[in-house]
């Protein structure tokens, strides 16, 4: 590891700490200024003030705001999120631990589809610039980006789930298979492959297609536009003209040399859009009744559950910080100029 890269790595790590601190602090204070009483939303409007105060005292909601903030930061650092405000709930860490694999299982194929499909169409449009296929791809990118995720999901459900009856409408696996399916990691596709449970694998994949396709298509337009713009600029560069003069095929120049050199901004976008996909899974999981952390967040917001909402959004914040850090380091590896 060179000294420049080591210095860049240390700098990025140090910058990540205040970024995460600001994010989780905003979560804490915004939750406190929102209207509504989380205790009465849990116990009902008819609960006596004495009973409500007992629960507030037990949960530390009567402590001074700075004391609550200090306890909150301590819990974030130790990953001990405590229990939700609802009495009898399991620890939030266990809830998120079960639901996070479901969200990742949805987000990873969506990101792969977005990257491959978006970059491929963008490069193809750049190669055929100002031809009819270029205009069609550009119109498609605008159209697909303008459709709300939940609306696209509903359309897919009506077409492929109701009209054609090709795919299941919601959930992660058929209920009959799920009763006998043993999942160790809560990644249903991975567990089905490891246990060679092919009926479970088929069910898990069929349930995954519509929500991951919905989530992936929502951001495809961004990749098409960015790839096309950078590819056109790259195809005008001197080394491409030199390659043509040497008799290198146009296909190799476009998809090997030009696309390879446009990958730095694309890699940065992949990191940003991955974080957006995880956050966008909130709408997708709600539409398809997918039991991930996005749906869990929506349920807890409806209940005004301070603890669960703070912990879930803090997890989103950690993912954004980690993904941003990894993308910056990859960019520094690919392009050494970024280190200086």
pTM (two decimals): 0.78
Q: Output the average pLDDT for the chain.
A: 79
Question: How far is the C-alpha of 279 from the C-alpha of 149, rounded, in Å?
Answer: 12
Question: How far is the C-alpha of 124 from the C-alpha of 102, rounded, in Å?
Answer: 33
Checking if the pLDDT of 87 tops 60, the result is no
The 10s digit of each residue's pLDDT in 40-85 is 666 666 667 777 777 777 777 777 888 888 888 887 777 777 777 6
Checking if the pLDDT of 1 tops 70, the result is no
Q: Look at phi and psi of residue 254 and say left if phi exceeds 0, alpha if psi is from -120 to 50, else beta.
A: alpha
Mean pLDDT of 161-184: 85
Quote the pLDDT of residue 282. 77
Question: Under 8 Å CB-to-CB from 66, ≥6 apart: which residues?
Answer: none
- Helices 92-127, 293-302: inter-axial angle, 10-degree rounding: 120
Which tokens hold the place of 303? 């209940």
Q: What angle do CA 133, 135, 136 make, to 5 degrees?
A: 60
Question: How far is the C-alpha of 284 from the C-alpha of 151, rounded, in Å?
Answer: 10
Find the distance separating the first CA and the last CA of the chain, reported in whole Å.
Answer: 15
- DSSP character for 237? S
Quote the pLDDT of residue 136. 92
Burial 313-337 (b: 16+ CB within 10 A, else e): bbbbbbbbbebbbebbbbbbeeeee
pLDDT band of residue 221 (cuts 50, 70, 90) is confident
Quote the pLDDT of residue 158. 92
Question: How far is the C-alpha of 292 from the C-alpha of 309, rounded, in Å?
Answer: 14
Q: Of 30-39, 201-210, 223-232, where does the model show the most confidence?
A: 201-210
Question: How far is the C-alpha of 196 from the C-alpha of 262, rounded, in Å?
Answer: 40
Percentage of residues of the chain with pLDDT beyond 90: 5
Q: Look at phi and psi of residue 261 and say left if phi exceeds 0, alpha if psi is from -120 to 50, else beta.
A: alpha
- DSSP character for 15? H
- DSSP character for 337? G
The 10s digit of each residue's pLDDT in 280-302 is 677 788 888 888 888 888 888 77
Cβ atoms 327, 270 nearer than 8 A:
yes
Mean pLDDT of 269-283: 71
Helices (H) and strands (E) in the chain, counts: 17, 0
Quote the pLDDT of residue 148. 84
- Domains of the chain, start order: 101-334 (1.10.3720.10)
- Its sign, for the CA torsion 325, 329, 331, 335, is positive
């Amino acid at each position: 590891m060179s000294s420049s890269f080591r210095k860049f790595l240390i700098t990025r790590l140090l910058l990540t700490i205040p970024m995460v601190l600001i994010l989780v602090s905003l979560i804490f204070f915004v939750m406190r200024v929102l209207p509504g009483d989380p205790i009465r939303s849990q116990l009902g409007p008819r609960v006596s003030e004495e009973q409500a105060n007992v629960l507030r005292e037990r949960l530390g909601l009567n402590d001074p705001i700075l004391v609550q903030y200090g306890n909150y930061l301590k819990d974030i650092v130790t990953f001990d999120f405590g229990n939700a405000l609802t009495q009898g709930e399991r620890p939030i860490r266990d809830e998120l631990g079960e639901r996070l694999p479901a969200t990742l299982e949805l987000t990873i194929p969506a990101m792969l589809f977005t990257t491959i499909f978006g970059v491929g169409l963008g490069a193809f449009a750049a190669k055929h610039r100002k031809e009819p296929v270029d205009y069609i791809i550009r119109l498609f990118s605008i159209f697909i980006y303008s459709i709300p995720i939940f609306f696209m999901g509903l359309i897919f459900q009506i077409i492929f789930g109701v009209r054609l009856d090709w795919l299941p409408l919601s959930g992660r696996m058929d209920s009959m298979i799920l009763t006998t399916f043993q999942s160790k990691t809560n990644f249903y596709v991975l567990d089905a492959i490891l246990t060679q449970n092919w009926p479970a694998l088929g069910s898990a994949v069929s349930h995954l297609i519509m929500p991951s396709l919905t989530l992936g298509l929502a951001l495809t337009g961004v990749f098409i536009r960015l790839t096309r713009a950078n590819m056109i600029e790259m195809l005008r560069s001197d080394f491409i003209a030199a390659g043509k003069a040497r008799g290198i095929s146009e296909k190799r120049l476009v998809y090997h040399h030009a696309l390879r050199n446009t990958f730095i901004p694309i890699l940065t976008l992949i990191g940003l859009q991955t974080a957006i996909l995880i956050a966008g899974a909130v709408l997708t999981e709600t539409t398809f009744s997918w039991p991930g952390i996005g749906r869990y967040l929506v349920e807890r917001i409806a209940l005004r559950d301070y603890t669960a909402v703070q912990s879930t959004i803090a997890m989103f914040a950690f993912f954004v910080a980690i993904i941003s850090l990894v993308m910056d380091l990859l960019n520094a590896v690919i392009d050494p100029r970024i280190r200086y």
